[in-house]
Amino acid sequence: MQVANRSVRPTAIQVPVVGADEAFVVRRVYCVGRNYVDHIREMKEGDERDPPFFFQKPADAIVRDGDTVPYPPLTSDFQHEIELVAAIGQGGVDIPVARALDHVFGYAIGIDMTRRDRQREARERGLPWEIGKSFDASAPCGPLFPASRVGHITSGVISLSVNGATRQRGDIAQMIWNVAEIVANLSQHYALGSGDLIFTGTPAGVGPVVPGDRMVGNIAGLGEISFTIGERNAR
């Protein structure tokens, strides 16, 4: 059978890899909710002993380091969540915790951008989180640092500033589930594949941004990323 129109084939979503010519081709983007106790407290999200959980963003929601993040429609409370991103190199199912880091190709700094007003509304009404979390350009992500180059990230400062003022500051060691536990747990829900990115949750200090703001994110060992917030509804 002939393919009627090859142009409908979507462009591969890629994230650059530090020190390599070939970029990392993204398959899926998973996110962990409720992975730092101090953020659960600021969100007043109920029982702190409830386990973290997962949601997804579309792969083409990724915005590359240095680019503009358009202010999305349908919100007046557009918020930042700085997160460590783990990239899956080799997929698998039911991966044991002790083997989980063997599946991690590397790490990046990401920001889980959130329409907080829509997320709260969905939570209160028992509706899915998509409108609050899984929209266009909602996943700014810096370059990937291979674990073979920087090791596995298990501790160190994670922080985000807006226009030079620190908003979020925590330590990777504060995560409720560490990266190995996240990979193991997620692989029970879904078959993980090469190219999957996992945003691993955010520390306290989340807050709103407005057009023209400049967000700078840092994680010890992974350098710095920066994004400017664009005009409202500039799509």
Whether 71 contacts 78, CB under 8 Å: yes
Residue ranges in 201-230 that form contacts with Mn ion under rule CB under 5 A:
202
Residues 45-84 that bind Mn ion (CB under 5 A): 81
Number of Cβ atoms within 10 Å of the Cβ of 76: 12
**Residue number, 65 or 81, with CB nearest to Mn ion:** 81
- Toward Mn ion, which CB reaches closer, 161 or 202? 202
Residue 177 pairs in a beta bridge with none
Task: Give the CA angle between residues 98, 22, 104 to the nearest 5°.
Answer: 10
The Cα–Cα gap between 167 and 160 comes to: 6
- The residue at minimum Cβ distance from Mn ion is 112
CB of 17 or CB of 168, closer to Mn ion: 168
Q: Which two tokens stand for residue 25?
A: 């081709």
Residue range at the interface with Mn ion (CB under 5 A); choices 6-14, 37-45, 179-187, 195-203 = 195-203
Footprint on residues 143-172 left by Mn ion (CB under 5 A): none
DSSP string, 68-126: EEEEPSS-S-EEE-EEEEEEESS-BSS--HHHHGGGEEEEEEEE--EEHHHHHHHHHHT
35 or 146: whose CB is closer to Mn ion? 35
We find the least distance from the C-beta atom of residue 56 to Mn ion, in angstroms, to be 12
Closer by beta carbon to Mn ion, 17 or else 198: 198
Interactions with Mn ion, residue window 99-118 (CB under 5 A): 112
Which residues are at the interface with Mn ion (CB under 5 A)? 81, 112, 202
